[in-house]
Structure 1
Amino acid sequence: MMIRLFVLILGGWLLTAAGPPHSVLIFSHTTGFRHASIEPARDAITSAARDKGYRVVASEDPALFDDAATLKRFSAIVLLSTTTKRNDPASEWLTGARRDAMQAYVRGGGGVVGIHGAADSHYHWGWYGQMIGARFARHPAGTPEGTVTRAALDHPAIRDLPESIKLTDEWYWFDDVDPRLRPLLMLDPASIGEQGVNPRSLAWAHGFEGGRVFYTALGHTAAAWRDPQVVSHVMGGIDWAVGRGARPMVVVTDDAKKVEEPPPHGRIGMSTAWRITDGVPGRMMEYRKRALHPGAAIGIHPIDHDEVYAVVSGEGEVTSDGVTALLRPGM
């Protein structure tokens, strides 16, 4: 008897097609260190966003966060170097009902884009650090030129960047980094004179409590915002946060990629495979159907991503972490 499986391999970013114009709030209120790049960044993002059809509101008024209804007007909130003072809880403007409003916004599917000093903020609110994904710890002196590499991922924030790029910035080191984050950009510390240090994450995107959060550590200098690659990077993050930037739809049939082949991970026996998503360019997930012939097996293998199996017919066994269980249809 053959066992038939549907296999869904996850781990990418789900993007929806563009709809009506999105509204974006660029918020740059500070009570901590005030970056001189805030005004150039605000102007560059506003111009680029409007060119892409966004409605833009720029503000430094914390009262916008007084209630969730106001925040719901925006598809994304850009926290532009919104620093507070590390040792002064009174410097934090997201308190009381504003915290409730921010949480409701994110949990309702809102997008958040944190830029540079947004990680140097609200040290006395644990949820904020979890949302951003990390907290600012320190930075090496000055703004040296560093080598930045992009991840081998198809994400709007890095899609138009070269594999390696030289940039001048203030390079952040982080504490309390969420280990589940998938870095989009990495700094080579040796390129700025930091020897014996592992590559440092500079940008990431993650789903958080129903919302979408993108963060980049770039943007300390005013000159950075005259660099079209930096602006493109940030705009890609905004696109992702609001659900734009999807690849064109591709329609495939399961017979289009039907092949006879040994199963993966050990080539034990033979299988019939429908490699359904192989023809989808830039895909971030796999969807396959596979019929294992009698005696065939997908070999034991480590994984660093989600895999979902659904048994359509037949019986078999699955082993995970040393535990073996019987598989039947519907399991």
Structure 2
Amino acid sequence: MRKILKIVLWSVLVLVLVVGGLLGVFIYKVKYGFPVSYETEAPKIDFPTDKPAILLFSKTTGFRHGESIEASKPVIVGLANKNNWFVYETEEGGVFNEAQLAKFSVVIFNNSTGEVINDEQKRALEKYVENGGSLIGIHGAGDDSHHWDWYENNLLGSKFSHHPIDPQFQSADILLDAQADSLITMGIPKTWNHSDEWYVFFENPRQKGFNIQFTINGDSINPSGNILFVKDKNFGMGKDHPIAWSKNIGNGKTFYTSIGHNGVAWKNEHFLKLIENAIKWAL
């Protein structure tokens, strides 16, 4: 009997250690991403002369929102066909060089997580935006796995804290902000409903000079991100909880929305209109 009890106890201990190890790896990947080699070879791109060019960048080294990424690609290509845009879609960072970036009107970080480009490529993107280019970030592009001060200061305006856990996805009314840019919000109702994984940031980007486009009532959701040993993520952003915002950066522009965790978002006509408008505004 003692032998059986001993085996059971050792089995439980091993199981706890394995689960703890896997959880630790998962948390590390979400927060930091896994180190990978950076692509540095410039790709061959045939840029059309009669269409604005959009770089759709979907590389991830952190948590991968695969469903949303795959759902987004045909949608954005469809928007490009509708509006006579050229889309170059890639997960290779070699395109982030000054010469090629200068040929794009808009760069979209499409749920890109982790450190996806090297320091030289980061400086090229910073210069690109400040000299008149535009950078758009979707959902996972706003998490805290990028470790890039310029990116955080100029695209996000705040540091990501967490997202709700129980429940992870919550329905909320999305509200047009009083200071919204009509070019970005054109054709979208003042109030519309959507269910998503609502990101919680430590600060409100409104306080950093960003132009808020849409919000949710943060008091209408359960913002707690507590899970297992994490007990300090029980706060939200309060009633004023932005979910889409923009800013002029130097001669360029940035736009970010925390909507878009899964493929459902890419079936929401109002979200699609927001992305289409944001690209038009960025152009």
TM-score of the aligned structures, taking structure 2 as reference length:
0.72
Report the CA distance shift for 1:122/1:64 in structure 2 as closer, same or farther (over 3 A): farther
Query: Quick one: percent identity of the two aligned structures?
Result: 30
Q: Given the alignment, which residue of 248, 259, 262 partners 1:218?
A: 259
Q: Given the alignment, which residue of 213, 216, 239 partners 1:187?
A: 216
Shift, 1:20, TM fit:
5.0
Aligned to 2:99, the other structure's residue is in SS state: helix
Instruction: Summarize the alignment of residues 273-292 of structure 1 with structure 2, pairs less than 5 Å apart.
Output: none
Q: Does 1:198 align with 2:229?
A: no
After TM superposition, the structure 1 stretch with the greater mean CA deviation from structure 2, 74-83 or 156-165, is 156-165
Shift, 1:49, TM fit:
2.1
Shift, 1:61, TM fit:
0.4
After TM superposition, the structure 1 stretch with the greater mean CA deviation from structure 2, 152-161 or 204-213, is 152-161
After TM superposition, the structure 1 stretch with the greater mean CA deviation from structure 2, 29-38 or 97-106, is 97-106
Task: State the distance in 2 between where 1:48 and 1:98 align.
Answer: 28
1:147 corresponding residue in structure 2: 173
Report the CA distance shift for 1:27/1:33 in structure 2 as closer, same or farther (over 3 A): same
1:59 corresponding residue in structure 2: 90
Letter in 1 for 2:185: I
Report the CA distance shift for 1:176/1:20 in structure 2 as closer, same or farther (over 3 A): farther
After TM superposition, the structure 1 stretch with the greater mean CA deviation from structure 2, 116-125 or 94-103, is 116-125
Aligned to 2:182, the other structure's residue is in SS state: coil
Shift, 1:121, TM fit:
5.0
Query: Do 2:62 and 2:145's aligned partners in 1 also have CA atoms closer than 8 Å?
Result: no
Query: Do 1:148 and 1:164's aligned partners in 2 also have CA atoms closer than 8 Å?
Result: yes
Query: Do 1:119 and 1:134's aligned partners in 2 also have CA atoms closer than 8 Å?
Result: no
Shift, 1:230, TM fit:
0.7
Q: Does 1:34 align with 2:57?
A: no
Q: Tell me, which stretches of 5 or more residues in structure 1 are unaligned?
A: 1-18, 85-91, 243-331
1:237 corresponding residue in structure 2: 278
The structure whose Rg is larger is: 1
Structure with the bigger percentage of strand: 1
Query: Do 1:135 and 1:177's aligned partners in 2 also have CA atoms closer than 8 Å?
Result: no
Q: Given the alignment, which residue of 144, 147, 155 partners 1:124?
A: 147
Structure with the bigger percentage of helix: 2
1:253 corresponding residue in structure 2: none
**1:150-207 deviations in Å (ceiling 9; x for gaps):** 1233422211111111101110111355421121100112332459932201111100
1:265 corresponding residue in structure 2: none
Query: Do 1:50 and 1:56's aligned partners in 2 also have CA atoms closer than 8 Å?
Result: no
Shift, 1:80, TM fit:
0.5
Instruction: Summarize the alignment of residues 88-107 of structure 1 with structure 2, pairs less than 5 Å apart.
Output: 92-107=115-130
Letter in 2 for 1:186: T
Instruction: Give the count of matched residue pairs.
Output: 216
Task: State the distance in 2 between where 1:145 and 1:121 align.
Answer: 24
Task: State the distance in 1 between where 2:86 and 2:237 align.
Answer: 45
TM-score of the aligned structures, taking structure 1 as reference length:
0.62
Query: Do 1:122 and 1:128's aligned partners in 2 also have CA atoms closer than 8 Å?
Result: no
Aligned to 2:169, the other structure's residue is in SS state: coil
**1:108-162 deviations in Å (ceiling 9; x for gaps):** 2001111111111554221110121233211112111111101233422211111
Q: Where do 4+ consecutive residues of structure 1 move more than 4 Å?
A: none
1:134 corresponding residue in structure 2: 158
Task: State the distance in 2 between where 1:76 and 1:137 align.
Answer: 27
Q: Tell me, which stretches of 5 or more residues in structure 2 are unaligned?
A: 1-48, 224-235
Q: Given the alignment, which residue of 166, 180, 195 partners 1:168?
A: 195
Letter in 2 for 1:69: A
Letter in 1 for 2:188: L
Letter in 2 for 1:144: Q
2:106 corresponding residue in structure 1: 76
Task: State the distance in 1 between where 2:204 and 2:237 align.
Answer: 20
